[in-house]
């Protein structure tokens, strides 16, 4: 059962006052609020509604008593069948358009915009054709900014639309033939006042182009106000249906209906769908409580019919502007944190309130747009060198505060000594146990690849033992090398006792016993036998080797 609350009784009845405060708190706590409005929210702006005693229907019947039977007939699509009713329609619309141009948005329009700015408005649906929601900043379906430039199925950008205009917009005209859409200008209003319809520029240009190439001319359509009449389909009906389905899936938590009698069949279906979605999304604790939830609120001077008894929770009888002002007042008292304004410094150092972040972004984007080319030219240039701060400069003046990360000097190398990782950091500490640089030599630089200098006998070190000194005089060969008897040459064999020939015999000592090494049998040749004979002959006439003591130098003795 719908509960009715009178705004005038709030001053004397504490129960009504407390209930209205609870409804205001529910609005403040809401996160996905759907707002449905009618012509009643624009009455305070000087724009008449339709069905009241001083509304549009009564005014039309009084002004044209012999032309139309009822005021509703003036907004029926069948009026275009009669030239007289069509002329009356154009004259009436021109007068309504001029009165709307002089009107200003009401507090209810600003209330809807406040819900949107506080991120609480899911979507706004309106029956009004005055377009006052667009003046407060709500993008409508009929706005040129909402038109889609893509080749997809949608004609508008449904995600950006904040206000769905169910009955069109009086500020635009469209062609009855090609559906071309144009803003309603002063020239159009002058023709409408005379009861005439202007020609469509798009159809006219196409027809003239066909005539120029000797083709048959096409029909030139006329322009009419871009509003939806009774028994007429909406040009954006598919897009509005998509928006409606999307909003139902997002599970709204509150529905506010203001300034409409809900007599139109399409609007009745829309309200019932949203009311069902709102009640289904309520918490179990709220549903089980005896107190009726503050979910579906209807604000209007006239009470709803009995068919809305189980759908509307509360009916607030009164003007919409009074109720919206009370909600804003209670909201500020109960939740003051929602109205705190964060101040932000813009690019010029001035304080920007509210939209400071957007101001900074716009300034940054404009700066990049102006200096984009210069920035690309300086992209690969080395960063300017900045002298590091010394202790004297810090002690004499004030200490230099650290810069922000975006303004710090970027070095050309990624591997900084202080900011890089420990594995890539260049250590500046002195290393210990390292050979001095003057004494370092490259591998195989001065020992292997160069010949050693010749030294005299007196300069030789005590431990300088040559291969010749390893042979002892008193050593008798126990196993002398065998010569090849078949050799007929006079050369000595390679097995002889050459100075550079190091064998196991030369490494033996006088007191030791020589152990012969096992060698593979080698088949001697004639050349080898000749070398062996020459070697034996030279060794017989060779001068004996002098022997040096390992402890102290002595004179060489000959044998």
- In a 13 Å sphere around the CA of 34, the CA atoms on its Cβ side amount to 27
Residues 210 and 243: their CA atoms lie apart, in Å, by 40
Q: What is the DSSP letter of 433?
A: S
Q: Is 175 annotated as a binding residue?
A: yes
Q: Is residue 167 flagged as an active site residue?
A: yes
Q: Produce one character per residue of 72-97: b if its CB has 16 or more CB atoms within 10 Å, e if not.
A: ebbbbeebbeeeebbbbbbbbbbebb
Instruction: Please check if 43 is assigned to a binding site.
Output: no
Question: DSSP 3-state assignment of 134?
Answer: helix
Which residues, in sequence order, are CB contacts of 390 under 8 Å at separation 6+? none
Tally of CB atoms within 10 A around 346: 17
The reply to whether 178 sits in an annotated binding site is: yes
The catalytically annotated residue of 167, 188, 244, 492 is 167
The separation between CA 343 and the C-alpha centre of its own chain, rounded to angstroms, equals 24
Look-up of token digits 């010569």 = 483
| Vertex 372: Cα angle to 366 and 376 (nearest 5) | 160
DSSP letters, 337-406, are: GGG---EEE-TTS-EEESSHHHHHHHHHHHHHHHSHHHHHHTTTSPPPP-PPPPHHHHHHSPPPPPPPTT
Residue 271 DSSP SS3: helix
Residues making up the binding site: 175, 178, 200, 203
Residues marked as catalytic: 167
Residues making up the binding site for Zn(2+): 175, 178, 200, 203
């Amino acid at each position: 059962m719908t509960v009715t609350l009178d705004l005038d009784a709030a001053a004397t009845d504490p129960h009504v006052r407390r209930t209205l405060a609870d409804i205001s708190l529910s609005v403040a706590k809401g996160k996905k609020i759907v707002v449905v409005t009618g012509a009643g929210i624009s009455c305070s702006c000087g724009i008449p509604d339709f069905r009241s005693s001083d509304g549009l229907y009564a005014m039309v019947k009084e002004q044209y008593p012999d032309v139309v039977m009822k005021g509703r007939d003036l907004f029926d699509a069948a009026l275009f069948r009669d030239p007289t009713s069509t002329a009356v329609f154009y004259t009436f619309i021109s007068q309504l358009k001029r009165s709307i141009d002089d009107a200003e948005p009401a507090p209810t329009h600003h209330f809807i915009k406040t819900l949107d700015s506080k991120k609480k408005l899911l979507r706004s649906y309106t029956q009004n054709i005055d377009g006052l929601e667009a003046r407060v900043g709500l993008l409508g379906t009929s706005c040129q900014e909402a038109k889609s430039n893509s080749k997809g199925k949608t004609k508008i950008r449904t995600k950006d639309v904040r206000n769905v205009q169910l009955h069109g917009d009086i500020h635009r005209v469209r062609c009855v033939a090609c559906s071309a859409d144009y803003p309603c200008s002063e020239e159009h209003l002058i023709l409408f006042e005379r009861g005439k319809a202007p020609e469509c520029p798009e159809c006219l240009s196409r027809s003239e182009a066909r005539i120029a190439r000797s083709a048959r001319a096409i029909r030139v359509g006329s322009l009419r106000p871009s509003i939806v009449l009774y028994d007429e389909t909406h040009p954006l009906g598919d897009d509005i249906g998509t928006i409606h389905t999307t909003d139902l899936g997002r599970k709204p938590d509150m529905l506010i209906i203001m300034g409409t009698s809900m007599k139109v069949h399409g609007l009745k279906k829309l309200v019932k769908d949203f009311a069902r979605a709102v009640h289904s999304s309520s918490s179990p604790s709220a549903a089980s409580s005896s107190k009726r939830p503050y979910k579906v609120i209807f604000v209007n001077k006239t009470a709803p019919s009995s068919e809305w008894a189980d759908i509307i929770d509360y009916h607030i009888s009164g003007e919409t502007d009074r109720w919206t002002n009370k909600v804003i007042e209670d909201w500020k008292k109960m939740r003051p944190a929602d109205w705190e304004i964060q101040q932000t410094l813009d690019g010029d150092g001035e304080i920007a309130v509210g939209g400071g972040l957007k101001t900074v972004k716009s300034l940054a984007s404009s700066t990049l747009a102006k200096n984009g080319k210069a920035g690309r030219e300086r992209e690969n240039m080395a960063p300017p060198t900045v002298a590091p701060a010394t202790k004297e400069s810090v002690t004499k003046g004030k200490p230099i505060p650290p810069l922000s990360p975006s303004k710090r000097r970027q070095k050309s190398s990624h591997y900084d000594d202080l900011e890089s990782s420990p594995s890539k950091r260049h250590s500046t500490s002195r290393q210990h146990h390292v050979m001095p640089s003057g004494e370092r030599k490259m591998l195989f630089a001065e020992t292997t690849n160069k010949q050693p200098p010749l030294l005299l006998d007196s300069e030789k070190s005590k431990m300088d033992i040559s291969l010749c000194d390893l042979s002892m005089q008193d050593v008798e060969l126990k196993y002398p090398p065998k010569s090849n008897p078949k050799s007929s040459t006079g050369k000595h064999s390679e097995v002889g006792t050459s100075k550079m020939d190091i064998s196991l015999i030369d490494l033996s000592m006088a007191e030791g016993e020589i152990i012969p090494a096992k060698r593979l049998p080698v088949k001697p040749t004639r050349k080898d036998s000749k070398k062996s004979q020459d070697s034996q002959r030279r060794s017989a006439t060779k001068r004996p080797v002098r022997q040096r003591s390992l402890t102290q130098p002595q004179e060489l003795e000959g044998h």
